Amino acid sequence: MVLETSPYKVFAGSKGNAIAQRICEQLGCSLGKVNVDRFSDGEFAVSFDESVRGQSVYLVQSTCPSSDNLMELLLMIDAAKRASAYKVIAVIPYFGWARQDRKDKPRVSIGAKVVANMLQGAGADRIITVDLHADQIQGFFDIPVDHLFGSNVLAPYVASLKLENLIIASPDVGGSKRASSFAKKIHEITGHEVPMVICYKSRPNFNQISEMRVLGDVKDMDVVIVDDIVDTAGTLCKAAKVMKENGARSVRAILSHGVMSGPADQRIGESELTELVFTDSIPYDTNRCSKVHIVSLAWTIAETIKAIQEHRSVSEVNHS
C-alpha cells in the first residue's frame, strides 16, 4: 500500500519560525520538524526529523544578524539535498548583506554576491525573497529568484488609514523609484492620485547624515515615508523631523524590513513619527516600541509557494 504525501514541505530556521507558522496556516499544512543541535564551542548541526525524499522543500529563514542565521540556512539546504529532496527552495524574507551590492570604494567586498554564491554552492534550487535592497542582486544568482514586493501587504494597510491629505515621501533620491511604485499601488487601491516628495541627504559615513532637506511641499499633508530597511533609524527620525519643520500634519514610515538595531527603539519612540510600520520578515517584539505596527507577509509568500507548486506565474500574486 502506497501512502499519499504532500508534494512539498515547509521547514523553518530559528529566525523564520514565527513567519513560517503563519505561512503554513495560509497553506493549510503543518510546519515540518527540524533540529538544530548546538555544541559548547558554538558550533551547531542541523537535521530533519521527517523524510523529505522526492519532495519540494521550502526552508524559511531570514539571514539577518548574526551570521549564525545564514549558516543555519546553508546547513538546512545541505541536509535537504543529502536527504534526496526533489527541489530545495530557500525562502528568505529578509536577505542580509544586500546593502553590500557593489564596489563603491576601493578594496571592499561585495557581500551580497558572496552570500548568493554560498546559497547556490550549498544546493539551493530557487530563492524566494522580499524587497532586495537593490534589484540587481537577482543577477548574482544563476538559479530562479522570485523577488516579492512588501507593498502588496503594506499599501493596503496605508489605504485603510484613509489619510485625508496623503503624500508619499522617499527618504533619499535612490529610493524614489520604490516610493513612486508605492504611490502607484495606493492609486490602484483607492483610485486617487498620490503626490510624492523626496528628501535629499548627504551621508559621509554609514549611519551618519550631515544634511537633509525636502524637495517638495508637505505643508498640512499626512506624510508616509517609504523605504526598504530601518536599521538604526537615524535617517527616518531625521526625515520625520524635517517633514514636521516643513509643516507636515503627520508623519508615518512604511518599510519592508525592521532591522531595528542599536538605538533604533529609543529613537523611534522619541521621534516625530506617529507610527512605524514594517513586515514580519524579521522577528520583532512590539513591546520594545509602542509606535511599531507589524504587517505579515505570510499571505504573499504562501500564494507564491502555491503558484510555484501549481506551475502558475508568480506575477499573478506579486506585482509592484
Residues forming the active site: 201
Q: What is the 3-state secondary structure (H, E, C) of the chain?
A: CCCCCCCEEEEECCCCHHHHHHHHHHHCCCECCEEEEECCCCCEEEEECCCCCCCEEEEECCCCCCCHHHHHHHHHHHHHHHCCCCEEEEEECCCCCCCCCCCCCCCCCCHHHHHHHHHHHHCCCEEEEECCCCHHHHHHCCCCEEEECCHHHHHHHHHHHCCCCEEEEECCHHHHHHHHHHHHHHHHHHCCCCCEEEEEEECCCCCCCCEEEEECCCCCCEEEEEEEEECCCHHHHHHHHHHHHCCCCEEEEEEEEECCCCCHHHHHHHCCCCEEEEECCCCCCHHHCCCEEEECCHHHHHHHHHHHHCCCCHHHCCCC
* Residue 107 backbone zone (phi > 0: left; psi -120 to 50: alpha; other: beta): left
Tell me the longest C-alpha to C-alpha distance in the chain: 73
Please state, in angstroms and rounded to a whole number, the distance separating the CA atoms of residues 137 and 208.
25
* Angle in degrees, CA 172, 65, 318, rounded to 5: 60
